[in-house]
């Protein structure tokens, strides 16, 4: 079956612009996670959804970052007034149920470049 998909695979934007990154989780997975991976670093947790609600958004760096999952499936990560420091690979993961007993399956990521 299909894994986690993310679009676009690459996004280049200019400083100050608004971007949206999309994640399509594995069908039936209720938990969805966003991570950010900067060059030479491990993934950094941003936000976790259980169904439609954000169960933990403690990793969002500031109020320019926002994520939604209106129907409990696809999620969109939104970044306002982008800055050069936002350049990174944004990873999405999903798992069957909440709780770490269930493996998180990662997507290929969206590489965001802010010029």
Residue 10 touching other proteins (CB under 8 A): no
User: Are 71 and 6 contacting, i.e. CB atoms less than 8 angstroms apart?
Assistant: no
70 binds other proteins (CB under 8 A): no
- Tell me how far, at minimum, the Cβ of 90 lies from other proteins, in Å: 13
65 binds other proteins (CB under 8 A): no
d(CA 68, CA 49): 9
CA-to-CA distance for 69 and 64, rounded, in angstroms?
Answer: 17
Q: Are 102 and 31 in contact (CB under 8 A)?
A: yes
Which listed residue (29, 48, 60, 79) binds other proteins by CB under 8 A? Answer: 48
CA distances from 72 to 3, 16, 86, 105 (A): 17, 30, 26, 17
Q: Which of 20, 64, 87, 106 binds other proteins (CB under 8 A)?
A: 106
Using the rule CB under 8 A, is 23 a contact of other proteins? no
* Contacting residues toward other proteins, per CB under 8 A: 3-4, 31, 33, 35, 40-45, 48, 55-56, 58-59, 91, 93, 98-101, 103-109
């Amino acid at each position: 079956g299909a894994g986690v998909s993310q679009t676009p695979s690459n996004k280049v934007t200019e400083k100050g612009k608004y971007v949206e990154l999309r994640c399509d989780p594995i069908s039936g997975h209720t938990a969805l996670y966003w991570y950010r991976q900067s060059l030479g670093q491990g993934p950094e947790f941003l936000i976790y959804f259980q169904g439609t609600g954000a169960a933990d958004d403690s990793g969002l760096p500031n109020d320019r970052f926002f994520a939604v999952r209106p129907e409990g499936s696809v999620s969109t990560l939104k970044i306002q007034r982008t800055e050069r420091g936002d350049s990174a690979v944004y990873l999405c993961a999903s798992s069957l149920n909440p709780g770490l007993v269930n493996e998180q399956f990662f997507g290929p990521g969206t590489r965001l470049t802010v010029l």
